[in-house]
Amino acid sequence: MPSFNLVPVNGVIQSVTEFNNNCCMLMTAVRNSDGITNFVVSPDTYVIGEVRLRAGMNVTAFYDADLPVPLIFPPQYQAMFIGRRNPQETVYAGVFDDNLEALDGSLKLNIGRSTQIVTSNGQPFNCPLSGQTLIVYYSATTRSIPPQTTPRKIIVIC
């Protein structure tokens, strides 16, 4: 199983610029109530839906908190995943067990008939979800512990 410690940052993109004179890498500045956070978007970053990142876009970016980061301000992280976010939805990324509970205990999935389950390249995924890194889009949860949700969409990172 992957050993990611994924941390989400929700916000609005303020700017997208070339990073260190490398045309294959971008620096994306994301603003939220905590201030600005910079994300390096490299060829290894999964840009959800292959959308063109642009200023004014509402996004969620995930970084691995276990990776080293430069001690600079504003903070700068390597984006593992970044994608457009609907303000009425929450985006979660993590690994789930056989009961579809996140390994960090923060969310339990109830798969509905309308839940779209696809791979990162948009193909249907018909195998077990346990042990996979999943990006989950959902809008409401129960007040139970862990919160439960029926997601709108699940993207499996194979």
Q: Encoding tokens for residue 65?
A: 């908190």
Using the CB atoms, write b or e for 61-85: b if 16+ within 10 Å.
Answer: bbbbeeeeeeeeeebbbbbbbbbeb
Please compute the mean of the pLDDT values over residues 131-148 and round it to a whole number.
95
pLDDT at 125: 97
Please compute the mean of the pLDDT values over residues 119-138 and round it to a whole number.
96
Which of 48, 44, 49, 50 has the alpha carbon at shortest distance from 19?
44
**pTM of model > 0.75:** yes
pLDDT at 4: 76
Which of 6, 37, 36 has the alpha carbon at shortest distance from 136?
6
Beta strand ranges found along the chain (DSSP E) = 6-19, 22-32, 35-41, 46-47, 58-64, 76-84, 90-95, 108-109, 116-119, 133-138, 148-149, 153-157
Is 106 strand, coil or helix? Answer: coil
pLDDT at 2: 55
Please compute the mean of the pLDDT values over residues 9-18 and round it to a whole number.
97
pLDDT at 28: 98
What confidence tens digit (pLDDT) does each residue in 56-96 have?
999 999 999 999 999 999 999 999 999 999 989 999 999 99
Beta bridge partners of 142: none
pLDDT > 70: what percent of the chain? 98
3 pLDDT exceeds 80?
A: no
pLDDT > 90: what percent of the chain? 93
CA quadruple 34, 28, 77, 7: dihedral, nearest 10: 60
Rg of the Cα trace of the chain?
Answer: 16
CA distance 125 to 64: 25
CA distance 105 to 90: 16
